[in-house]
């Protein structure tokens, strides 16, 4: 069964979609959720996202399950290991499989769980912000927000 909620955030409207008891999507993209009702989980996710934006939450603790290949799931699991308020370059993120750097970047771009699976924490090797489906301005905002909340971290790599 599918459920949905939409919330306003400091960086735009977020749509939350739950499918079969797990969060399947959190997206900035416009989604037609007409006919879908909120449930306990979408409301809990809304509260956790609000706490994140308020600077009171750094780790999410609800069930997630997005559709993807085994390779994409591996990349998304690795994204979850990037600490709050930290960044990592695509080269370092793919160091365990350097020949797959482009495939890893593509899988990163197919992440449907914005903020929660923190693809915004992966940046270019030169320290530039690259490739965020929600727009680079949102990526910059998220990184800056996390840095300010944690009072550490950086939004670009420094050499």
Tokens of 33: 């959720």
Q: Is 105 a catalytic residue?
A: no
SS3 144: helix
The residue annotated as part of the active site, out of 16, 104, 107, 119, is 119
The neighbour count for residue 140, using CB atoms within 10 Å, is 16
CA distance 77 to 18: 19
71 in Cβ contact with 103 (< 8 Å):
yes
User: What is the maximum span of the chain, computed from C-alpha positions, in angstroms?
Assistant: 51
- Residue 12 has phi, psi (to 5 degrees) of 115, 175
CA-CA-CA-CA torsion sign (47, 53, 54, 60)? positive
Catalytic residues, which ones? 119
């Amino acid at each position: 069964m599918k459920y949905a909620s939409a919330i306003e955030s400091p960086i735009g409207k977020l749509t939350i979609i739950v499918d079969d008891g797990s969060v399947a999507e959190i997206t900035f993209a416009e989604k037609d959720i007409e006919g879908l009702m909120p449930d306990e989980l979408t409301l809990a996710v809304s509260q956790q996202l609000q706490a994140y934006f308020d600077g009171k939450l750094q780790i999410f603790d609800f069930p997630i399950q997005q559709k993807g290949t085994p390779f994409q799931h591996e990349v998304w699991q690795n994204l979850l290991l990037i600490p709050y308020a930290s960044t990592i370059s695509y080269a370092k993120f793919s160091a365990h499989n350097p020949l797959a750097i482009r495939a890893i970047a593509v899988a990163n771009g197919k992440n449907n769980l914005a903020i929660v699976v923190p693809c915004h924490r992966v940046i270019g090797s030169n320290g530039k912000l690259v490739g965020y489906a929600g727009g680079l301005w949102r990526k910059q905002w998220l990184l800056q927000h996390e840095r300010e909340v944690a009072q550490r971290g950086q939004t670009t790599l420094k050499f």
